[in-house]
Amino acid sequence: MGQLSVNNLLGIKYIKKQDIDLIFDTADHFKEVLNRPIKKVPSLRDITIANLFFENSTRTKLSFELAEKRLSADVINFSSSSSSIKKGETLIDTVNNILAMKVDMIVIRHPNPGAALLLSKNVDSCIVNAGDGTNEHPTQALLDVYSLKERLGDLDGRKILIVGDILHSRVALSNIYALKLLNAKIKICSPLSLIPREIESLGLSVETNLDKALSWCDAVNVLRVQHERMEKSYFPNDREYSLLYGLDKKRINKLKKDILILHPGPINRGVEIKSDIVESNNSIILDQVENGVAVRMAIIYLLASKMNISKSHETV
């Protein structure tokens, strides 16, 4: 088995195509494990992982915890609302105190872009970014792309559309980096007010008409409108957004072709996507969630092997 080129997973920006190939090959194996009657391997029974969530999460938090437990790691969970952060302790001090309890790996979600990078430079541990503000969400992008590959095969030349609130989305940036590494064609569709200026430097094609963009693509990743990150109004109201940028059955049926529909969750039903699409045969939203556990198992396993944290190197 090969090795990752990185010692931490801070963002897709820092990894190579070979890393993605290795993560996906390893995830294939763990996906097979997860379909066995006993969904657990002893690979990481000698390591302890701390999941530090400074921001709300359902999917990512539970998926990491399950991935770690399926690998037989010991797991501790930390929530900022009940911690000494409230008493003024710094992030680095908090993490160094957790590491003093002989913890081997840190998974962190934090509202500040760069929080995972900051930790990687200031603490002596392996760091996995579970989403840092509007910067990156690398494990989400890897599970999205893994789910796309499972249905479409090689993504070289495949047309992937990303629709929605690009400005506030860490999922968009990580997906763009991952899809570029795999040579997919990428288009962005959103109101211009929700497209960051830096998108031009990534050389991406932008289309503001959703129907035109959908007729171009093989798959569409629909992003949530992140009301909680909006300090001002970026479009008149949700009804107008839904009419111009929301996916529903009527819009998809007009295409006269099948496209795959992804959404990282949580979903705003009736805003960026309607229930008739969430529950349609085109939707692979729950496949994404299922694949997330196998992909995260692969990432944790490969980082532990690279960093020589784990003494047992069998995926079994």
Q: How far is the CB of 66 from ligand CP (least distance, A)?
A: 13
Beta bridge mates, 127: 106
| Inter-CA distances, 299 with 42, 160, 220, 305, Å | 16, 24, 25, 10
Q: How far is the CB of 313 from ligand CP (least distance, A)?
A: 30
Query: Which CB sits closer to ligand CP, 174 or 310?
Result: 174
> What is the closest distance, in whole angstroms, from the C-beta atom of residue 226 to ligand CP in the complex?
10
Nearest to 159 by CA among 257, 249, 251, 245: 257
In which residue are the tokens 């569709």 written? 189
> What span, in angstroms and rounded, lies between the C-alpha atoms of 101 and 149?
40
Give, in order, the Cα–Cα distances in Å from 267 to each of 66, 141, 252, 315: 22, 17, 18, 34
Least CB distance to ligand CP at residue 109 (A): 7
Cβ nearer to ligand CP, comparing 29 with 59: 59
Task: Specify the residue, 140 or 310, whose C-beta has the smaller distance to ligand CP.
Answer: 140
- What's the min distance (Å) between Cβ of 224 and ligand CP? 9
Q: Which is nearer to ligand CP, 8 or 60 (CB)?
A: 60
Compare residues 131 and 164 and give the one whose CB is closer to ligand CP: 131
User: Computed from CA positions of residues 92, 226, 221, 280, in that sequence, does the dihedral angle turn out positive or negative?
Assistant: positive
Q: Return d(Cα 45, Cα 96) in angstroms, integer.
A: 22
- Report the residue number, 130 or 188, with the smaller CB distance to ligand CP: 130
CB environment 49-82: b (16+ within 10 A), e (fewer): bbbbbbbebeebbebbbbbbbbbbbbbeebebee
In single-letter form, the type of residue at position 174 comes to S
**Interface ranges with ligand CP (CB under 6 A):** 57-61, 131, 137, 140, 264-266
Residue with smaller CB distance to ligand CP, 43 or 63: 63
Q: Is the CB of 12 or the CB of 309 nearer to ligand CP? A: 12
If residue 259 lies in a helix (H) or strand (E), which one and from where to where?
Answer: none
Q: Which is nearer to ligand CP, 226 or 282 (CB)?
A: 226
Instruction: State whether residue 296 is helix, strand or coil.
Output: helix
| Shortest Å distance, C-beta 129 to ligand CP | 12
With a CB cutoff of 8 Å and minimum separation 6, the contacts of 308 are none
Phi, psi of 208 (to 5 degrees): -95, -10
Q: How far is the CB of 21 from ligand CP (least distance, A)?
A: 23
Secondary structure element (H or E) that encloses residue 105, with its range: strand 105-110
**Cβ 174 to ligand CP, closest distance in Å?**
11
| Least Cβ distance, residue 51 to ligand CP (angstroms) | 11
Paired sense of beta strands 219-222 and 260-262, if any? parallel
